[in-house]
Structures are given as structure tokens and as C-alpha cells.
Amino acid sequence: MDPTLAAFDRFLRNISPKPDELARANEHVRLVRDRINQTMPFLDNLGKPNQAERFPDNPHIWIDENALIRASVWVLGKSIIGSAARQTQLSPIEDVDILLILQCTSPIILNSWTPAGLLKNLSNTLAGIGTELVTWEGECVTVKFANAPYCDVFPAFNFANQRHLLFPKRGNQWYRGDPTILDGVVKTTDQVFNGRLRPFIKLLKYWNKLHSVGLKTFHLETLAVRELKQSGSLPAALHSFFLHGKQSGRAFLTIPSLDGAVEDMSQYLTSISSQEITKKIRVAEKFCRSALDAYGRNDSASAMTAYRLLFGLNFGE
């Protein structure tokens, strides 16, 4: 194998999660899932509750202190989402995202409950797992363990007449979305592109972390899906990504979410942070261009030097 391509293979193995990390992550997810299974009723495939007899005192009725109603909340589904589902995690694994889809007996729950009330009930349900629970306002509940990874549990309501799931947001607001769409697109695109998308994403995520670029994972991975072409090597794909970013400037970062819920995923970026990101993209393009030029001259040593500026001194070891 070509020395430069062999170096990419070694580097990707080194930055990918190891078997013991994956086993620990699976065990932590199992603990969370078991607690939900043991304490909350769920709906069967016919949409009927099949654990009601286990809850004679209706402990599944969650109460928001600020709510006008008491509402029975059922678990409609739970699944791993995010980088773990897309198999684009880096080593060490820091967290695993779990989606908890809930069905409510009354749609007016959104007018009477607060996002904080939903998260408080979820936190009470998960109490006793791990070493600590952290509730992020308007977002999720994190279950911490003695050793990483942690589990971030995202609750969302499902309503038959809604296209998207409804997630808690700050204040009295809820937001619509479906993170499983990106998960499915990454899986399908990776298959169509002969297994090139996932390693491409991992390389971009490592660059993003190493250089403190500041792009959110969900945003960066969506950009990767848009930018990767169906043919070409990983080194060429990286240069194409950064070259397009260099040429397009701030507009390169603008992209809608694949679930159609967000028109511009880059809205969290300030003017200053956007300028810093585009500057780092230009620097990355320079490194990639230097590496490809050296590669074209059969100068593997110079190519490796350029890629180590991009990915750190451990590249290729």
C-alpha cells in the first residue's frame, strides 16, 4: 500500500474507539435502558400499554409543579442516536446519546408543562444510576459514571399529527427535530460511497478537536455529508472540503439540518467565531495542498510533515 494511504489507515485505527471502550459504553447504555424498562410503562406495536398491570399506583404519571394537569407518559421508543449511532465516534468515547421518545395522553401537555418539568421527571426516573446526574436546562439529563463514557438522555414527545419530535427547550419553549434522520443518511451514504464517509467524518472531527475549531458535531457531520464526493481518495476529499471552505468563506458554514427543522445550523456561531473558523479552514487547506503536492512528487516524507501539521505528531504512527 502507498505509504501515505497506509499512514491514514493507521491513524484512523488509532483515533477510533477500542473494544474495551465500546464494551463499557454498551454496559452504561444497558444500565440506563434497564432502569427505563423497569420503571416506566411502554406501548406495544399496537399502540396499547402492555405494562399497566405492573403499575397499580400509576407511578408513571409525571407531574410538573407548574402544570395544570397530571399526564400519563408512556415510553414509545428508545434508541442510541448521534455519533454512536453513526459510528463516527473518536477515542476516547466521551458520551453516548440516547433518545427517549414519549407518548402523552393529552396534547395539551405542551401548553401546561415546562421543559424543566419534563427533565426533572426524567432525572427522578434515572436517580441511582451511575455516580451523578446532571440536568441541562432545556436539553437532556446526563448520567455520569466513575469512568467515561457518560450517557446523555434526550426526552422528546411524539404526536401523530407532527412531522418532527418535540424536544424541551429553555423557558416554556419546545423545538422540533429528528436527529435520527442524519444518523440514517450517514449510514446510507457511507454504504453508497464504499465506506468512505465515516472515516472522512472522523478525520474532520479530529481536526476540529485538535485545533479547537469550535464546530458542533451535528453541524460538522452534516457539512461532511454535503461535501464528500462519490469518488476519490481521503486525502483528496479533505483538500476538496477545505478548498471549498476557503473559497466560500462564511457561506460555507451555512447549511440546513437534514430533518428540515433548522434552516441554518450555523446560527450558534458569532461573527468573531465564524471568522476564526474560516481562518482555520484556510490554514487546513494550505496543509492539505502542500501534502498533495508532495505526494505528487513522490515525496512521502514532506507529505507526512504536512499532514502532521493538520492532525498532530501522532499521525501515521
What the block records as the C-alpha cell of 83 is: 455519533
Residue 103 CA to residue 71 CA, distance in Å, equals 10
What is the domain partition of the chain in residue ranges?
19-177, 182-311
Per-residue pLDDT of the chain (317 residues; tens, 9 = 90+): 688 889 999 999 999 999 999 999 999 999 999 998 887 766 555 455 444 444 444 445 565 565 555 666 778 889 999 999 999 999 999 999 999 998 765 555 666 667 888 888 899 889 999 999 999 877 899 999 999 999 999 999 887 666 788 898 877 788 889 999 999 999 999 999 999 999 999 999 999 999 999 999 999 999 999 999 878 899 999 999 999 999 999 999 999 999 999 999 999 999 999 999 999 999 999 999 999 999 999 999 999 999 999 999 999 88
Instruction: Give strand pairing partners of 135.
Output: 141
Q: How far apart are CA 65 and CA 50, in angstroms?
A: 28
CA dist 148 and 18 (Å) reads 13
User: DSSP secondary-structure letter at 45?
Assistant: T
Tally the residues of the chain: 317
Q: Give the pLDDT confidence score for residue 232 in this predicted structure.
A: 86
DSSP for 34-95, written as a single string: HHHHHHS-BB-TTS-BS-GGG-TT-TTEE--TT-SS-EEEEEEEEEEETHHHHT---SSP-E
**Cβ neighbours, 10 Å, residue 87:** 15
Beta-strand runs (E) in the chain = 61-62, 71-81, 95-104, 132-136, 140-144, 150-157, 165-168, 174-177
Rounded distance between C-alpha atoms, residue 81 and residue 96, angstroms: 8
Predicted local confidence at residue 172, as pLDDT? 74
What's the pLDDT at 1?
A: 62
Which CATH fold topology does 19-177 show? Beta Polymerase; domain 2 (3.30.460)
Contact of 112 with 69, CB cutoff 8 Å? yes
Cross-strand pairs, 62: 71
User: What does the pLDDT read at residue 2?
Assistant: 81
